Amino acid sequence: MITLALSKGRIYDETLPLLAAAGIEVLEDPEKSRKLILPTNQPGVRVVLVRATDVPTYVEYGGADLGVTGKDTLIEHGGQGLYQPLDLNIARCRVSVAVRADFDYATAVRQGSRLRVATKYTAIARDFFAGKGVHVDLIKLYGSMELAPLTGLADAIVDLVSTGNTLKANQLVEVERIMDISSRLVVNQAALKLKQRAIQPILDAFTNAVSSPASPS
């Protein structure tokens, strides 16, 4: 049995076409079912639904053989024990620094002030500001980062941005782009060896689907 870990939402939605390219069809809609294990049209392949941040952990410890996870999540996890064969080029966004429109970020950084930065992405934020020589106090949050500068909890946030609409709706401005993000296929290293005959065709189909995307409909 091959187990693929996915998170509900954009990663699940954007992985479905890749699965279809590998001849795999999920037989239940996670938005309509409460099941956490979803069968597929292939008796040897199943999908498990986990929180986005738990996908690398499931694959690391063998709770799943394969998974799809954002590069952001992978960096924060550390990636240990995971084979990362493929950038799937899906769920694209960027990690950015954002502040209140009335906060003078450039001057704060130039004057070497200590910045208070709220984020779920503490590893990415720590590396980024260390590289710039900016002193930061990191405040770990698990969601709704946009609220932190608005309530005075922090001067800045480090968060994912795609359209920028969420920042705009909260009167925040993006002042630096830290890195581009897309989702990766991750594979348990032992599974890759022990179940290679089942896993390799999935890897090959994903690779082909990513390098020759279907024409826009």
Q: How far is the CB of 118 from ligand PRT (least distance, A)?
A: 13
Residue 55 as a binder of ligand PRT (CB under 6 A): the answer is no
Q: Using the rule CB under 6 A, which residue among 6, 161, 186, 199 binds ligand PRT? A: 161
Among 52, 68, 141, 178, binds ligand PRT (CB under 6 A): 52
Q: Please state, in angstroms and rounded to a whole number, the distance separating the CA atoms of residues 145 and 165.
A: 14
Instruction: Find the shortest distance in angstroms from Cβ 169 to ligand PRT.
Output: 8
Determine if 181 is a binding residue for ligand PRT (CB under 6 A). Answer: yes
CA distance 20 to 205: 9
Which residue in 127, 12, 22, 11 sits closest to 71, CA to CA? 11
Segment contacting ligand PRT by CB under 6 A, of 95-103, 108-116, 159-167, 203-211: 159-167
15 near ligand PRT, rule: CB under 6 A: no
Residues binding ligand PRT: number (CB under 6 A): 23
Query: Containing H/E element for 190?
Result: helix 189-194
Query: Residue 162 carries which side chain, given as an amino acid letter?
Result: S
Instruction: Return the range that interacts with ligand PRT (CB under 6 A); candidates 22-30, 59-67, 157-165, 208-216.
Output: 157-165
Q: Are 117 and 139 in contact (CB under 8 A)?
A: yes
Distance separating alpha carbons of residues 55 and 72, to the nearest angstrom: 12
